[in-house]
Structure 1
């Protein structure tokens, strides 16, 4: 296993653990939805054009 493959595997494992924790602990209120969306952006689950289009919608 190359170092890059190990890094990708480890990153996927950590993201999976965090995702399971978010699903278990978070409900459907606004703050929890913002946490879920921020996690998806960090994990790369949103396309770049989506982030650029809706980047300022969550800011107060």
Structure 2
């Protein structure tokens, strides 16, 4: 019986530790999701402003 109680205590501690890890990971995912959304918004605004044109190597400039 004592062996089962020890196993249950160990499993309970493991579940609590995993829960803490998952909670921290979720917080980090939330922060990263907000940052990506912010960067996407900035890029959309930059494109709307017409700035930041990209010149490709095989593309001729407009003055040719």
TM range, smaller chain: 0.3 to 0.5
Could you tell me the TM-score, scaled by structure 2's length? 0.41
Return the index of the structure with the highest Cα Rg.
2
Could you tell me the TM-score, scaled by structure 1's length? 0.43
**Which structure exhibits the higher relative contact order, with contacts defined as CA atoms closer than 8 Å and separated by 6 or more residues?**
1
